């Protein structure tokens, strides 16, 4: 058995050889080196581990930042159009759900918008643009969002991507648009108001001039009985004056600033006049057919308001039919029953005047039909409509105690129905509701109003109460009667605005005959009584038109009781 020459066994030698240190490794210095080497290895392993941990922490931080960012962030592979990364804000912006994964623009948006965005990001990757402001993006569900987008190229594992940040500006943009829209509407309504003031001023002066011409022409007509040519000319002047007066009435109603005088009017007659005006303004391709079934058409109304209703409804219809087609106007007397009242609680039972305006236009979509009466609601293009037409109609109808309804089918047409209380019925139903059994009875009342129909209404109220009436449409005749029968008259009710002698003057003359007879003055608008120097000393009470039967009964009872008390004292 061979012995190792330097005392090292073959086994040790072999191990040293395998470890590559050979005999020299036995020297102590190599051993130290080895130890250092091992330590270094250990240190660098720990450092690697440390930096791995740091990288892991950084990665987690990055992921947290990425997903918690309020801006949408995506990394897009421009070749395939696929998203490599997409954060939560971006997914939220485009309604990402796990069952509807957001893989590319084309999976989330209509194709045109997807293409536009991909093109924009390409330009950002190439450095051509860096930022896009307020980009409008349609979503698949029809919603629109606005975003500010910035982007730049990034390289990941030797592949080119674009990193883009989307800031959702929808709320701010909508606010901005609403503000602009609101400002435009205010602008428009201020413009309307200015036009109305101007038109109203001009129309007022014109009415006086026209009234003068018309009056003189009418007087002259009597004086030239035998001259047929001259009579024809004068008649033409009168007809032209009437047309001019109608136009000024329309001008006044632009802003509905006309003094609202409620008086008994013929609804059918106003419709006829309004249709003449409409035919002059609408193209011949729009036909307006009127069928009058309503025999009873007397309503207590403001003339200008009613004609505005007809004009606005027909104008809307003409627009809905693109100015070609038939508008049908139908009037009838409708009986409001329980069934109708259940649907329209504002209606009162009984006979009404019903106006129907139908067209063969585009119809009104179900989702907007509830909004059409809102002020400023319009589907017309910007600047083409104020959206006030129907809201004005609604206001007028309501002021008259009426109801408006609409029925429409898309592509077929629309019908508006307006129920108006009839003059006499309105009076009767109020008597039924408000008439107080303690109201005065058996009095003799002198009733004066130049409007025949109002005289009838007054008589009816008073006789329903159990009183007697002597009535006149002419104040001079009324005064003459009073002068001869002063002792039997208990009270006088007179209109304010009457030709030849107004209500105040009549009251004064009546008191010159008999001091303590009470005089109730009725007025259609307060302005005429607000003038300086209006002396109300001869007036016991003022009552505004249109008054209800209950109101009249109450006032009459109060004044007669006061006189009784005075006489007793
Ligand atoms: N006959 C109709 N057929 C179809 N749609 C109608 C009809 N009448 C009204 N509408 C709808 O109701 C909306 C409101 O009508 P409204 O008369 O209040 O305002 P407008 O006509 O839009 O504006 P303006 O009256 O100032 O010209 C219209 O924009 C339209 O969409
Ligand atoms: Mg309109």
The ligand placed nearest to the CA atom of residue 191 is 1
Q: Is the CB of 439 under 6 A from ligand 1?
A: no
Residues 6+ apart with CB under 8 A from 481: 446, 470, 472
Containing structural domain, residue 149? 71-168
Q: Is the CB of 191 under 6 A from ligand 1?
A: no
Q: Is residue 493 located within the same domain as residue 545?
A: yes
Q: Dig out the tokens for 138 from the structure.
A: 């349609």
Amino acid 427: pLDDT: 41
Please name every residue paired with 86 in a beta bridge, in sequence order, or none if there are none: 74
Dump pLDDT digits (tens) for 101-133: 567 888 778 888 989 999 999 999 999 998 999
SS (H, E, C) 37-77: HHHHHHHHHHHHHHHHHHHHHHHHHHHHHHHHCCCEEEEEE
Dump pLDDT digits (tens) for 139-185: 878 888 999 999 999 998 888 999 999 999 999 988 888 788 777 76
Instruction: Count the domains in the chain.
Output: 5
Q: For residue 362, which atom of ligand 1 is closest to its CA?
A: 4
Amino acid 213: pLDDT: 81
Spacing, Cα 140 to ligand 1 middle (Å): 30
Q: Is residue 484 located within the same domain as residue 561?
A: yes
Our measurement of the distance from residue 363's CA atom to the centroid of its chain's CA atoms, rounded to an integer in Å, reads: 18
* Cβ atoms 388, 376 nearer than 8 A: yes
In terms of Cβ atoms closer than 10 Å to its own Cβ (0-12, 13-18, 19+), residue 225 is exposed
CA distance 68 to 49: 28
Q: Is the CB of 188 under 6 A from ligand 1?
A: no
Distances in Å between the alpha carbon of 80 and those of 150, 163, 196, 527? Answer: 20, 15, 62, 78
CA distance 466 to 486: 21
Q: Is the CB of 358 under 6 A from ligand 1?
A: no
Q: Is residue 294 located within the same domain as residue 275?
A: yes
Q: Is residue 106 located within the same domain as residue 211?
A: no
The ligand placed nearest to the CA atom of residue 390 is 1
Q: For residue 377, which atom of ligand 1 is closest to its CA?
A: 14
Amino acid 349: pLDDT: 83
The residue with tokens 């249109």 is: 546
Instruction: Return the ∠ at Cα 328 (arms to 322 and 330), rounded to 5°.
Output: 155
* Cβ atoms 86, 166 nearer than 8 A: no
Q: Is the CB of 317 under 6 A from ligand 1?
A: yes
The listed range with the strongest mean pLDDT (300-304, 422-426, 505-509, 526-530) is: 505-509
Q: Is the CB of 147 under 6 A from ligand 1?
A: no
| CA-proximal residue: ligand 1, atom 22 (nearest) | 378
Q: For residue 357, which atom of ligand 1 is closest to its CA?
A: 1
| CA-proximal residue: ligand 1, atom 11 (nearest) | 372
Looking at the domain assignment, is residue 97 inside a domain? yes
When comparing pLDDT for 223 and 525, which is higher? 223
Distances in Å between the alpha carbon of 555 and those of 110, 122, 175, 550, 551? Answer: 71, 84, 54, 9, 6
Q: Is residue 326 located within the same domain as residue 441?
A: no
Our measurement of the distance from residue 476's CA atom to the centroid of its chain's CA atoms, rounded to an integer in Å, reads: 49
Spacing, Cα 345 to ligand 2 middle (Å): 26
Please name every residue paired with 287 in a beta bridge, in sequence order, or none if there are none: 326
Q: For residue 416, which atom of ligand 1 is closest to its CA?
A: 1
- Rounded mean pLDDT, 481-499: 92
Q: Is residue 271 located within the same domain as residue 414?
A: yes
Q: Is residue 445 located within the same domain as residue 308?
A: no
Q: DSSP string covering 199-217, please?
A: HHHHHHHHHHHHHHHHHHH
Spacing, Cα 305 to ligand 2 middle (Å): 15
Domain boundary among the residues 148, 168, 188 is at 168
Spacing, Cα 59 to ligand 1 middle (Å): 59
SS (H, E, C) 529-555: HHCCCCCCCCCCEEEECCCCHHHHHHH
The 10 Å Cβ neighbour count of residue 151 is 23
When comparing pLDDT for 139 and 365, which is higher? 365
Domain boundary among the residues 20, 47, 65 is at 65
CA distance 248 to 204: 8
Q: Is the CB of 311 under 6 A from ligand 1?
A: no
| CA-proximal residue: ligand 1, atom 25 (nearest) | 389
Pick the closest to residue 166 from 248, 267, 90, 57 (CA basis): 90
Domain boundary among the residues 43, 65, 87 is at 65
In terms of Cβ atoms closer than 10 Å to its own Cβ (0-12, 13-18, 19+), residue 171 is exposed
Spacing, Cα 313 to ligand 2 middle (Å): 7
Helix or strand holding residue 254 (H, E)? none
Please tell me whether the overall predicted TM-score, pTM, comes out greater than 0.75 for this model: no
In terms of Cβ atoms closer than 10 Å to its own Cβ (0-12, 13-18, 19+), residue 460 is middle
When comparing pLDDT for 562 and 329, which is higher? 329
- Using only the alpha carbons of the chain, give its radius of gyration: 45
CATH of the domain at 460: 3.40.50.2300
The ligand placed nearest to the CA atom of residue 412 is 1
Q: Is residue 38 located within the same domain as residue 96?
A: no
CA distance 296 to 105: 67
| CA-proximal residue: ligand 1, atom 9 (nearest) | 316
Spacing, Cα 423 to ligand 2 middle (Å): 28
Looking at the domain assignment, is residue 4 inside a domain? no
Dump pLDDT digits (tens) for 306-354: 888 999 999 999 999 999 999 999 999 998 888 777 777 778 888 899 9
* Cβ atoms 341, 419 nearer than 8 A: no
* Cβ atoms 246, 275 nearer than 8 A: no
Looking at the domain assignment, is residue 45 inside a domain? yes
The ligand placed nearest to the CA atom of residue 404 is 1
Q: Is the CB of 386 under 6 A from ligand 1?
A: yes
Q: Is residue 37 located within the same domain as residue 52?
A: yes
* Cβ atoms 262, 303 nearer than 8 A: no
Q: Dig out the tokens for 124 from the structure.
A: 């950002």
* Cβ atoms 444, 468 nearer than 8 A: yes
- Rounded mean pLDDT, 528-541: 70
Q: Is residue 535 located within the same domain as residue 398?
A: no
Looking at the domain assignment, is residue 281 inside a domain? yes
Q: Ligand 1 pocket test: which of 188, 288, 373, 378 has the largest number of ligand atoms within 8 Å of its C-beta?
A: 378
Q: Is the CB of 361 under 6 A from ligand 1?
A: yes
CA distance 174 to 183: 14
| CA-proximal residue: ligand 1, atom 29 (nearest) | 378
Q: Dig out the tokens for 98 from the structure.
A: 């796990």
Q: Is the CB of 254 under 6 A from ligand 1?
A: no
Q: Dig out the tokens for 239 from the structure.
A: 């007809």
Q: Is residue 406 located within the same domain as residue 300?
A: yes
* Helix, strand, coil distribution of the chain in percent, nearest 5: 50, 20, 30
Spacing, Cα 315 to ligand 1 middle (Å): 9
Spacing, Cα 500 to ligand 1 middle (Å): 45
Spacing, Cα 310 to ligand 2 middle (Å): 11
Spacing, Cα 281 to ligand 2 middle (Å): 15
Pairing between β-strand 325-336 and β-strand 298-302 as defined by DSSP bridges: unpaired
CATH of the domain at 93: 3.30.450.20
SS (H, E, C) 462-521: HHHHCCEEEEECCHHHHHHHHHHHHHHCCEEEEECCCCCCCHHHHHHHHHHHCCCCCEEE
Dump pLDDT digits (tens) for 63-77: 888 888 999 999 999
Ligand 2 ion: nearby residues, β-carbon < 5 Å: 316, 389
CA distance 6 to 355: 132
| CA-proximal residue: ligand 1, atom 12 (nearest) | 372
Q: Is residue 128 located within the same domain as residue 191?
A: no
Dump pLDDT digits (tens) for 413-461: 999 999 998 876 444 333 334 456 567 788 999 999 887 767 777 787 7
Looking at the domain assignment, is residue 1 inside a domain? no
Spacing, Cα 367 to ligand 1 middle (Å): 14
Looking at the domain assignment, is residue 405 inside a domain? yes
Q: For residue 391, which atom of ligand 1 is closest to its CA?
A: 18
Looking at the domain assignment, is residue 545 inside a domain? yes
| CA-proximal residue: ligand 1, atom 31 (nearest) | 379
Assess whether pLDDT exceeds 70 at residue 265: yes
Looking at the domain assignment, is residue 343 inside a domain? yes
Kindly report the average pLDDT of the chain as a whole number: 82
């Amino acid at each position: 058995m061979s012995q190792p020459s330097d005392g090292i066994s073959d086994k040790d030698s072999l191990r040293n050889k395998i470890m590559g240190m050979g005999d020299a490794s036995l020297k102590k210095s190599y051993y130290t080196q080895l130890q250092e080497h091992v330590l270094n290895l250990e240190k660098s392993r720990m450092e690697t581990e440390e930096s791995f941990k740091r990288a892991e922490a950084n990665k987690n931080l990055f992921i947290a930042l990425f997903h918690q960012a309020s801006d949408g962030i995506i990394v897009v592979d421009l070749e395939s159009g696929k998203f490599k990364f997409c954060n939560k804000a971006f997914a939220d912006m485009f309604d990402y759900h796990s069952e509807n994964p957001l893989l590319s623009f084309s999976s989330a948006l209509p194709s045109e918008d997807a293409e536009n965005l991909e093109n924009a990001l390409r330009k950002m990757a190439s450095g051509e643009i860096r930022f896009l402001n307020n980009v409008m993006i349609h979503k698949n569900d029809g919603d629109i969002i606005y975003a500010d987008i910035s982007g730049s190229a990034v390289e990941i594992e030797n592949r080119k991507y674009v990193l883009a940040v989307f800031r959702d500006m929808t709320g701010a943009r909508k606010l901005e648009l609403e503000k602009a829209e609101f400002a435009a509407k205010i602008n428009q309504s201020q413009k309307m108001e200015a036009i109305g003031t101007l038109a109203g001023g001009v129309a007022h002066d014109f009415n006086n001039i026209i009234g003068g011409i018309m009056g003189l022409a009418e007087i002259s007509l009597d004086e030239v009985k035998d001259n047929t040519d001259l009579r024809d000319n004068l008649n033409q002047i009168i007809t032209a004056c009437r047309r001019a007066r109608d136009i000024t009435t329309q001008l006044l109603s632009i802003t509905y600033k006309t003094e609202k005088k409620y008086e008994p009017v013929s609804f059918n007659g106003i419709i006829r006049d309004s249709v003449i005006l409409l035919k002059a303004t609408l193209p011949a391709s729009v036909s307006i057919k009127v069928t009058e079934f309503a025999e009873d058409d007397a309503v207590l109304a403001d003339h200008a308001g009613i004609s505005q209703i007809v004009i606005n409804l027909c104008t809307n219809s003409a627009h809905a039919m693109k100015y070609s087609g038939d508008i049908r106007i139908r009037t009838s007397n409708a009986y409001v029953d329980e069934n109708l009242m259940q649907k329209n609680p504002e209606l009162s039972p009984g006979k009404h005047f019903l106006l129907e305006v139908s067209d063969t236009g585009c119809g009104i979509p179900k989702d907007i039909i509830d909004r059409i009466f809102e002020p400023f609601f319009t589907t017309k293009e910007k600047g083409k409509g104020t959206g006030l037409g129907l809201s004005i109609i609604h206001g007028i109808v309501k002021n008259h105690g009426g109801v408006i309804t609409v029925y429409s089918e898309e592509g077929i047409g629309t019908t508006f129905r307006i129920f108006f209380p009839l003059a006499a019925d309105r009076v009767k139903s109020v008597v039924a509701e408000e008439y107080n059994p303690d109201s005065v009875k058996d009095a003799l009342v002198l009733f004066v109003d130049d409007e025949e129909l109002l005289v009838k209404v007054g008589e009816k109220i008073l006789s329903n109460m159990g009183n007697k009436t002597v009535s006149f449409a002419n104040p001079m005749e009324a005064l003459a009667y009073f002068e001869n029968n002063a002792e039997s008259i208990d009270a006088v009710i007179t209109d304010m605005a009457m030709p030849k002698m107004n209500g105040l003057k009549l009251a004064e003359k009546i008191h010159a005959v008999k001091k303590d007879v009470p005089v109730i003055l009725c007025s259609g608008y307060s302005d005429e009584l607000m003038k300086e120097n209006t002396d109300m000393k001869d007036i016991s009470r003022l009552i505004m038109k249109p008054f209800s039967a209950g109101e009249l009964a109450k006032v009459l009872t109060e004044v007669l009781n006061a006189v009784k008390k005075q006489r007793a004292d």
